[in-house]
């Protein structure tokens, strides 16, 4: 039992150090030597857990995508379900809490992984297509309930996802970091009301 615990700790230590190294130096500039120096371990120890620099990068990205997917719940409708807006708010809060709780994750997801290579782009594309499908389903459900105006659900879903990505990237660079609830308020205000002030003559 102690050996398993030690093994799990060492692997997690390498992942955390690699995440920082990739974020600060960029994937192509970063090296295994940088990672093991940050972790304070021997090169052989690294290879007990990962077979290459790309192997540890993929492990970080796969864990991040799985965690985001877990935090995005399907919007439910029914007499015992919370109001859809509350469910949407909870989804946004969970995802932004994850990303802004570790700014290295934002750098890896939005900058390092995106342009790495075709295999990585395909992985991200599959992930984002899954997220877009969930947003589209929520929009269609909202339209049937009279909560969402008629719109091109695919285009609107893409705009919503892009806004969330942009806001997360912007917030991650700010000091001090914005409060999660305030960010969610701004996202929802934009999604629900846009930016134009309503006119009494419209």
Residue 172 belongs to domain with CATH number? 1.10.357.10
The boundaries of the domain holding residue 36 are 1-51
Q: Are residues 123 and 80 in the same domain?
A: yes
Q: Are residues 110 and 189 in the same domain?
A: yes
Domains contained in the chain, number: 2
Output the tens digit of pLDDT for each of the chain's 202 residues. Answer: 444 457 788 999 999 999 999 999 999 999 999 999 999 999 999 999 999 999 999 999 999 999 999 998 888 888 888 888 899 899 999 999 999 999 899 999 988 888 888 999 999 999 999 999 988 988 888 888 888 888 899 999 999 888 888 888 889 888 888 899 999 998 888 887 777 776 555 5
Q: Output Rg (C-alpha) for the chain, integer angstroms.
A: 20
Tokens 């695919």 — which residue? 154
Residue 11 belongs to domain with CATH number? 1.10.10.60
Query: Given 24, 51, 78, which residue is the final one in a domain?
Result: 51
Bond into 73 cis (ω within 30)? no
Q: Are residues 35 and 68 in the same domain?
A: no
Rounded Cα gap, residues 158 and 156, in angstroms: 5
Rounded Cα gap, residues 79 and 160, in angstroms: 27
Nearest CA among 125, 158, 154 for reference residue 140: 154
Neighbour count for residue 62 (Cβ, 10 Å): 12
Task: Confirm whether 10 is domain-assigned.
Answer: yes
């Amino acid at each position: 039992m102690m050996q398993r615990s030690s093994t799990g700790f060492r692997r997690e230590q390498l992942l955390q150090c690699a995440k920082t190294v990739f974020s600060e130096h960029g994937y192509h500039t970063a090296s295994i030597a940088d990672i093991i120096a940050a972790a304070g371990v021997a090169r052989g120890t690294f290879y007990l857990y990962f077979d290459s620099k790309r192997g540890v990068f993929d492990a970080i990205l796969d864990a991040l995508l799985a965690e985001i997917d877990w935090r995005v719940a399907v919007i439910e409708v029914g007499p015992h379900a919370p109001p859809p807006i509350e469910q949407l708010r909870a989804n946004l809060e969970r995802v932004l809490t994850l990303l802004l709780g570790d700014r290295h994750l934002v750098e890896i997801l939005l900058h390092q992984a995106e342009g790495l290579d075709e295999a990585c782009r395909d992985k991200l594309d599959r992930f984002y297509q899954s997220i877009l499908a969930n947003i589209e389903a929520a929009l269609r459900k909202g339209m049937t309930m009279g909560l969402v105006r008629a719109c091109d659900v695919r285009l609107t879903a893409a705009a919503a996802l892009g806004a969330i990505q942009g806001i997360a990237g912007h917030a991650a660079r700010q000091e001090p970091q914005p409060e999660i609830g305030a960010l969610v308020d701004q996202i929802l205000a934009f999604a629900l009301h846009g930016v134009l002030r309503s006119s009494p003559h419209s």
